Amino acid sequence: MAADGEFKRDLRYITTRITADGRDGWPVEPGRYRLVIARACPWANRAAIVRRLMGLEDVLSMGVAGPLHDERSWSFDLDPDGRDPVLGIERLQEAFFRRDPEYPRGITVPAIVDIPTGQVVTNDFPRMTLDLGREWAAHQRDGAPDLYPDKLRDEIDDVALKVFHDVNNGVYKCGFARSQDAYEGAYRALWERLDWLEERLRTQRYLVGDTITEADVRLWPTLVRFDAVYHGHFKCNRQKLAEMPALWAYARDLFQTPGFGDTIDFEQTKTHYYGVHRMINPTGIVPSGPDPRGWLTPHGREALGGRPFGDGTAPGPVPEGERVPALG
């Protein structure tokens, strides 16, 4: 937290990478690693989406932490006996401490853990999705899309950076502000960027090019949580997402695309934000709404053209143990 009350996210992550050539000491190996996410977390949501789109479910297992945590980190309270069935740990903190017993920073998801040693390899979420898309290519499904095509990388990076500062992190800067000026500055930046995105998406189906890219993967997890959490809980309340025609249709289009909506659990998301952030919501009461069934209504974005997966295909069915509750 800055002296002026502005929320400052700690962006210092464990940056070792899992690569095809193992140059950081962590080679890509099927079955060796476990991706740990929480359904509530938008940063973790990105990794879950890319893992689905790439078809890596059989080579990179996934653990799901529960929606509530304390100062000791995310816990596996959704699993039998409160332990991750593969890692055998109660809290993600244990994997970080096996890597560094004096680990000084936040215990964050997503994290990829080396199963044999129990050590976290990385929690560098921006790099993680890029590496799942590129370094794991030899193990991806047939028809996996290219989310980061060479010819579009500069534009994807530019859009993603703007979205991160003003939207992905912008909602947190609104919600965690500790002064009126800091809140109002973040609020203005958020809505200026959302208006920019609304205009951009009026005439194109996806953020960059005519297919789903890394830019869409980075924006969408914030949009899907907007009305349920950020609008009220984080005071981002100029409008609801459902009141912005292009953004709302775009968000529904992706929700109904395999690999996106099938990673979302609205109840866990609300339980986390309203239950953990007691400095914002002292009672811990979790709101009953909004009704999520609007996410299944027709979006009409097909009229703008585009090919969701480019030259690739849609991912297959969600594995039995990873299904989220149906809406309704």
> What distance in Å separates the CA atoms of residue 138 and residue 27, rounded to the nearest whole number?
12
Burial of 5 (0-12, 13-18, 19+ CB in 10 A): middle
> What distance in Å separates the CA atoms of residue 313 and residue 295, rounded to the nearest whole number?
22
> What distance in Å separates the CA atoms of residue 78 and residue 89, rounded to the nearest whole number?
12
Helices (H) and strands (E) counted in the chain, each on its own, are 9, 6
**Residues β-bridged to residue 74:** 69
Q: Which two tokens stand for residue 80?
A: 């039998």
Who's near 4: CB < 8 A, 6+ residues apart?
A: 179, 181, 182
Helix (H) or strand (E) holding 302, with range, is none
Q: Which two tokens stand for residue 321?
A: 């143990």
> Could you give the C-alpha distances from 73 to 90, 183, 235, 240, 274, in angstroms and in order?
10, 27, 25, 31, 17
Q: Is the dihedral of CA 51, 52, 56, 57 positive or negative?
A: positive
State whether residue 190 is helix, strand or coil: helix
Residues annotated as part of the active site = 41, 172
Q: In the chain, helix, strand, coil percent, each to 5? A: 40, 10, 50
DSSP code, position 163: H
Q: Is the dihedral of CA 126, 272, 241, 50 positive or negative?
A: positive
DSSP code, position 141: P
Residue 220 labeled ligand binder: no
Q: Which residues are annotated as a binding site?
A: 74
Residue numbers belonging to the annotated binding site for glutathione: 74
